[in-house]
């Protein structure tokens, strides 16, 4: 997606450990008109009419999924929570995830009543690195008996292993920009994204 790649080149910042910071338009301040274009592009890549639910993970996925849902006939958005709170009552699906940015393990959780066997689910997230977050969300979908239609990622880091592993497993994974390298602060992209 050219618009997204241009924005990454303009405003993205390379940080330590292969981390790309996009706080000025995606992860802290949010550019809504860019998210609208991202939402339209996800719809173009996932035209399946049966998609009725978008699953994401707090916090950065929520805004992306909420805007994208408008292009999916106002599909319901469910976000997995990272901490157990009193608000999360009833039975839960849970899966362990290793946090890329903090390095620690946490549990993602979704209330059972929001994911059921009749659901056709698109998973959306901001970044794909080693695939831990997506694997956790896919495990929750598996537990629920819902149907996974595919995974939509805004920025995949192709130099980390998550994307390759998920594609090898046959997951319909669509990344709107694939960063192939970040070298001396210079970002380069894989052509086909």
Query: Which residues lie near ligand 5GP (CB under 6 A)?
Result: 19-21, 27, 60, 100-101, 125-133, 157, 162
Nearer to ligand 5GP by Cβ, of 41 and 125: the residue is 125
- Identify the CA nearest to 141 among candidates 62, 70, 51: 51
For β-strands 53-57 and 186-189, DSSP reports them as: unpaired
Report in angstroms how near the CB of residue 59 gets to ligand 5GP at its nearest: 8
Report in angstroms how near the CB of residue 26 gets to ligand 5GP at its nearest: 8
127 φ/ψ angles, rounded to the nearest 5 degrees: -125, 150
Nearer to ligand 5GP by Cβ, of 116 and 161: the residue is 161
Nearer to ligand 5GP by Cβ, of 19 and 66: the residue is 19
Report in angstroms how near the CB of residue 134 gets to ligand 5GP at its nearest: 6
Residue 131: how many CA atoms within 13 Å on its side-chain side? Answer: 19
58 φ/ψ angles, rounded to the nearest 5 degrees: -70, 150
Report in angstroms how near the CB of residue 67 gets to ligand 5GP at its nearest: 17
Report in angstroms how near the CB of residue 90 gets to ligand 5GP at its nearest: 25
Nearer to ligand 5GP by Cβ, of 52 and 61: the residue is 61
- Identify the CA nearest to 63 among candidates 46, 79, 82, 47: 79
Is the dihedral angle over the CA atoms 18, 133, 57, 193 positive or is it negative? positive
- Identify the CA nearest to 136 among candidates 93, 77, 83: 93
Report in angstroms how near the CB of residue 24 gets to ligand 5GP at its nearest: 11
Nearer to ligand 5GP by Cβ, of 1 and 187: the residue is 187
Tokens, residue 191: 């052509």
Nearer to ligand 5GP by Cβ, of 53 and 157: the residue is 157
DSSP assignment of 93-122 = EEEEEE-TTT--EEEEEEEGGGS-TT-EEE
């Amino acid at each position: 997606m050219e618009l997204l790649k241009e924005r990454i080149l303009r405003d993205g910042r390379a940080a330590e450990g292969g981390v790309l910071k996009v706080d000025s338009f995606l992860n802290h301040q949010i550019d809504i008109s860019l998210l609208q274009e991202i939402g339209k592009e996800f719809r173009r890549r996932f035209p399946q009419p049966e998609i009725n639910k978008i699953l994401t993970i707090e916090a950065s996925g929520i805004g992306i999924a909420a805007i994208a849902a408008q292009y999916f006939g106002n599909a319901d958005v469910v976000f997995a929570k990272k901490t157990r709170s009193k608000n999360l009552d009833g039975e839960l699906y849970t899966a362990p995830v290793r946090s890329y940015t903090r390095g620690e393990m946490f549990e993602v959780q979704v209330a059972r009543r929001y994911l059921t066997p009749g659901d056709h689910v698109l998973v959306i997230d901001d970044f794909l690195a080693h695939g831990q977050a997506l694997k956790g969300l896919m495990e929750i979908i598996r537990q629920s008996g819902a149907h996974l239609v595919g995974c939509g990622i805004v920025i995949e880091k192709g130099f980390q292993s998550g994307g390759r592993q998920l594609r090898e497993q046959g997951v319909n994974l669509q990344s709107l920009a694939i960063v192939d390298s970040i070298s001396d602060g210079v970002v380069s992209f894989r052509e086909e994204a």
